[in-house]
Chains A and B, each alone.
Chain A
Amino acid sequence: MFYRETGDFKTSYAGDIQTFPLALDRNRFWIVVAFAFLVVPFFVNSYWEKAVLLPFFIYALAAIGLNILTGYCGQVSLGTGGFMAVGAYACYKFMTGMDIYIPMGGGEYYEILLPPLNIAACIFLGGLTTAFVGILFGLPSLRIKGFYLAVATLAAQFFLVWLFNKWEWTYNYSATGQITATETSLFGILITGPNTEPWATYLFCLTFLFIFGWIARNLVRGRIGRQWMAIRDMDIAAEIIGVNPLKAKLTAFAISSFYIGMAGALYFAVWNGAAEPTESFAIDKSFDVLFMIIIGGLGSIFGSLIGAAFIVLLPVLMKNLLVGMLGWPTDIAEYLQLIVVGGLIVFFLIKEPHGIAALWRTIKEKLRLWPFPY
């Protein structure tokens, strides 16, 4: 009744392989997109921007990245926080003017100085840098699997955070060891720095999420995505039908890190404006993003979005409810929120291991026939 498939016929394969094969779904999707792009910017205020929407977009991007690696290619990673740090620091270097010194021997240096780049380019290059680092840390995946690989990526997490604490070049020798976003703009509109307008940063992050979410969806439904899923489901059979495991795993690491790096760059430059490795990119970032994709649904782009929304919005919602409406003390509300999130993770692992995305599929399946299931 609510979910009509009847009468929606396909006459071409191109029509059948669309992301939303049903006109109903497709229209609903475009309405949401139009609303987000055309209506919300006029109403968004600083609270919604900083506390709700930007973190949602940024974590959704990171979750899509991790989902490509873990959900689609089956390689567990606990290095998300570290990779986000790489994106953030690379973005910082590019936005303050990348300076590279290549020792030529005898105390001589060959200097490469780049001018400060456009903010969108910085975010993109932050992603690319992270992709290279991701490939490097993905190399062990060719030998080890499962828990052992997770531990190897954990090494990436700790190493990278240590690196950005110790290597002064990465934070331009600042006394505090912190990196701070400089004021940058796109088409004359401020995107980073202390004086940004909520709608500008909102649209900037939303555009990144929309474009790269769409690209992720295209990648996972085509040749590359099938290679990843084949490796995930049965690596021996994948190899025997012609999938090169080296290529498949390393592309997954590269593209996943690219997304996570961009999320890290946005996190630092647009959302927070400043970052510090031990605080901003600690191991709990890795766990947060992992929880998002487990709760949202492994192997689903939609699941990444839902999972990110869940983890980001639930605390905000509970805080507003308990502190704002019921007048509870803040610390008790915070503990309760941790308990609820933990409980929900356990609940989902037991009840629906494939996450909210699978739950939604079941609901759709039921709605197709409702109210006459036979």
Chain B
Amino acid sequence: MNIHAQAAAETDKDYESAEIAHGISPRHIGEVVLEVRNISLRFGGVKAITDVSFDIRDGEIRAIIGPNGAGKSSMLNVINGFYHPQDGEIWFHGKKRKPLKPHQIAQQGIARTFQNIALFKGMTTLDNIMTGRLTMMKSNVFWQAIWQGPAQAEEVRHRETVEKIIDFLEIQAIRKTPVGKLPYGLQKRVELGRALAAEPKLLLLDEPMAGMNVEEKEDMCRFILDVNEEFGTTIALIEHDMGVVMDISDRVVVLDHGEKIGDGTPDEVRSNQEVIDAYLGVSHD
């Protein structure tokens, strides 16, 4: 066998067969996990989102792109319940979702990171990531107060999971550092860790690579791809770096002025005239 052909798994198909050969189950994109139908969101007279529909499939990386003010972050806020749209429905796991509070939606398995880092500045890296496990911690006030039995056992059990995430994200050295003291790139990584600790079914990333240099971006891309492949987590991300978006995402939805103007694979979106117009501008005459 030609050794070069084996080493360079150029196409997805080669990659997949290589994975099967090594006993790794290949990436599998399944059913629709989350579907937004005809969402409209207004703040007074300002229309943030108008009649947008799209779906996210199990196991895929779904990018949401668009120029500034297109309504991308508002869309994520709608999905995790921070905004309540005036019109439209959200279907999650084949069921129509009632209007819920953000913490109830977190219980259902949707986690997210923020555009401007929203870590708990007074807490250490470890504590920040441990907060991601809060939805899974159940021991009552009594056991918490005496710190014996279930409370301690639970703490240790979740600590083990959190340590795996710390290993995965390669942040062992800053385990006990207060996050306020960390550089920007590491803070972004800790925030990803906090979201991962919740073991989400759907992970929403709001500009995970904003303000990073090329190396940090590469690291972050690697983590996102690894999360998707190893844990099979479905990811929806907002990103401005087109190179990154076109490289890592399976499907892309394009918003502009709150409306959907494109939806499809990166190649389809790239050749969509409306998308090109929205990004490059078009002469109005």
Contacts and interface: CB of A to CB of B under 8 A. Distances in A.
Interface of A: 12-14, 16-17, 215, 218-219, 221-224, 226-227, 229-230, 232-234, 236-245, 251, 299
B120 A240 contact: no
Contacts of B151: 218, 222-223
B21 interface: no
Residue of A17, A223, A236, A244 most packed against chain B (CB within 10 A): A223
A232 B103 contact: no
B134 A218 contact: no
Given A239-B101, A239-B102, A240-B82, A219 B120 contact: no
A219 B144 contact: yes
Interface of B: 80, 82, 101-103, 106-107, 111-112, 114, 118-123, 127, 130-132, 134-135, 137, 139, 141, 144-147, 151-152, 154-156, 159-160, 163, 194-195, 198
Given A243-B134, A245-B103, A237 B120 contact: yes
Residue of A215, A232, A241 most packed against chain B (CB within 10 A): A241
Contact of B134 (A14, A215, A223): A223
B144 A222 contact: yes
Contacts of B80: 240
24 contacts: A13-B163, A14-B156, A215-B146, A218-B147, A219-B145, A222-B151, A222-B155, A223-B151, A223-B154, A224-B144, A226-B127, A227-B131, A230-B120, A234-B119, A236-B118, A238-B120, A238-B131, A240-B103, A240-B106, A240-B111, A241-B111, A242-B107, A243-B131, A244-B103
Contacts, number: 106
Contacts of A299: 122
B112 A240 contact: yes
The 10 closest A-B pairs by CB, nearest first: A242-B106, A233-B120, A237-B118, A242-B135, A218-B147, A223-B137, A13-B159, A239-B102, A215-B145, A13-B156
Contacts of B101: 239, 244
A227 B120 CA distance: 11
B159 A17 contact: yes
B146 A218 contact: yes
Contacts of B198: 241-242
Contacts of A241: 106, 111, 131-132, 134-135, 194-195, 198
Nearest to B110: A240
A218 B112 contact: no
Contact of B103 (A12, A17, A215, A242): A242
A227 B198 CA distance: 14
A26 to B, nearest CB: 15
Given A17-B159, A239-B102, A226 B152 contact: no
B103 A239 contact: yes
B123 A223 contact: no
Contacts of A223: 134, 137, 139, 144, 151, 154-155
B133 to A, nearest CB: 9
Nearest to A71: B122
A170 to B, nearest CB: 29
Contacts of B147: 218, 221-222
Given A226-B130, A241-B135, A241-B195, 20 more contacts: A215-B146, A218-B151, A219-B144, A223-B137, A223-B155, A226-B127, A227-B131, A230-B120, A232-B122, A233-B120, A233-B121, A234-B120, A237-B120, A239-B103, A239-B106, A240-B82, A241-B194, A242-B134, A243-B134, A251-B141
A230 B131 contact: yes
A232 B123 CA distance: 10
Contacts of A239: 101-103, 106
Contacts of B145: 215, 218-219
A64 to B, nearest CB: 13
A234 B118 contact: yes
Contacts of B131: 226-227, 230, 238, 241, 243
